[in-house]
Amino acid sequence: MHGAGQVIPALIRPPPYRKYDFYSYIVGQNFPKALQPYYFGTHALFLETLRSREISKEQSICQTRLMWWEESVRDVTERAKPAREPVTRIIQEAVKNTPLNAKLLQRMINYQLYDIERGDIQTMKEMEVYGENTRSLLLYTNLHLLRIDSSEALLAASHLGRCLGICDILKKIPFYLAKHRCYIPTEVLLKVSSIAHSLHSTICTSRRSGTHAGRASSPKSSMMSSLSKLTLSLTYQGLRLR
């Protein structure tokens, strides 16, 4: 535990962690002190898997980085090899000192590898699967760290995680459009295509004019209006498709 305590400042103090997942950072502050290093370690790995998707436009480079994380986690959890950097060092101690299942961490990485190959999401069911393999997995690791073994808690974590995963997608629509990726189900976009096209056009216009949506009042207002309509439509159509 002493080793974990020495590494935790490097994981939670830098602004990037709070910037990319602020609410998880706040939750971590209320975790039991003895478990905070493990909590932030698993969440740091989650962020690294997500960021690995954005380091390059070349899929092969993103895949290489994810496979490096996959091998690094397997080394410290299955092969008892020394950790090569702080995150896997925390993971190694977490698996040793808590009931944390390392297969959840492998699944987290493997899903991002699958996500690269899959392309756009086609259905609401696939969107739920995205939430299940991102935020739900994080909630499962939290339950393991807290030694909570309850079918009701796992079911709640599954549903809540899917909800949070979908919320992540909605918040990142402008970012994903700029990356030429779409996580909104095709079956929903077909029903709200005019709104989606309006949102995409607004973002492109803002970029061509040399301004950012957050700095120019007119593009920002137009984009937020389109985004709000798309979000409402997605929610409504998602409920109808269920």
pLDDT score recorded for residue 217? 45
pLDDT at 112: 93
- Its pTM stands at 0.77
**pLDDT for position 201:** 62
* C-alpha distance from residue 10 to each of 68, 72, 91, 165 (Å): 21, 19, 14, 26
Residue 73 near residue 91, CB atoms below 8 Å: yes
Whether 108 contacts 69, CB under 8 Å: no
pLDDT, tens digit, 9 for 90 and up, residues 172-183: 888 887 777 778
Tens digits of residue pLDDT in 47-96: 999 989 888 888 899 999 999 999 999 999 999 899 988 899 999 999 99
* Residue 99, pLDDT score: 96
Q: How far is CA 159 from CA 31, 67, 156, in A?
A: 21, 28, 5
Is the four-CA dihedral 156, 161, 166, 171 of positive or negative sign? positive
Domain ranges of the chain: 2-124, 177-241
pLDDT, position 16: 57
10-residue mean pLDDT series, the chain (242 residues): 49 58 88 93 92 87 95 93 90 95 95 88 89 95 96 96 91 80 79 61 55 47 57 54 44
pLDDT at 222: 55
pLDDT of residue 156: 96
H-assigned helices in 53-101: 59-77, 86-97
